[in-house]
Amino acid sequence: MTDHAATTTPAADCAAKVLTVSDGVVAGTREDRSGAALVARLGEAGFTVVEHRVVADGRHTVGEALVEMAAEFNGLIVSTGGTGFGPRDLTPEGTAVVLDREAPGLAEAMRAVNPLGRLSRGRAGTRGAALIINTPGSTGGAIECLEAVLDVIPHAVRLLAGD
């Protein structure tokens, strides 16, 4: 028998970081609503958000930020933005090159919450002891995708720590 309680443990003592990927937010022409919403929702779920960073769209900017954010970090890193079909939407590509291991079940669960999820190219996986998930840049989409996997994330983070 499987211990289902272990897969839905609370987020107490779990750290999180949020990465907003947006040329407009970096330029100051757009407000970072999805990043702020993720920070708030993670806090409500019991995570301690220790960093919220903003970078421009692009494979290299995303990859470099994720490498820096994951260094010596055991916790969740949630990105928002850059998962669609726009020419500058390269968050999945920047994420793919820095992941040690993919977690396709998480990405699939996030895509399944909404019919528009089928248009998301977001990835999920690990780098060191950090769990990285990509969410869309819309506030609703980012929160929906986070909610789709939020119940299992604390368990995954503890497994990455060796617990």
CATH number, domain of 83, equals 3.40.980.10
Tally of structural domains, the chain: 1
Identify whether 97 is part of a domain.
yes
Confidence of residue 8 (pLDDT cuts 50, 70, 90): low
Q: Which domain holds residue 58?
A: 15-160
Identify whether 85 is part of a domain.
yes
Identify whether 30 is part of a domain.
yes
What is the residue whose two structure tokens read 């998930």?
133
The overall average pLDDT reported for the chain is 93
Percent of the chain with pLDDT over 90: 88
Average pLDDT over residues 92-118: 96
Residues 74-97: pLDDT tens digits? Answer: 999 999 999 999 999 999 999 999
Phi and psi at 83, nearest 5°, equal: -105, 0
Amino acid 118: pLDDT: 87
Of 120, 147, 133, residue with least CA distance to 40: 147
pTM score of the predicted model: 0.93
Amino acid 9: pLDDT: 57
> Where are the alpha helices (H) located in 18-58, listed in sequence order?
23-27, 33-44
Amino acid 4: pLDDT: 42
Identify whether 49 is part of a domain.
yes
The partner residues of 80 in beta bridges, in order of sequence, read 20, 135
Identify whether 2 is part of a domain.
no
Cβ atoms of 96 and 63 closer than 8 Å = no
Identify whether 156 is part of a domain.
yes
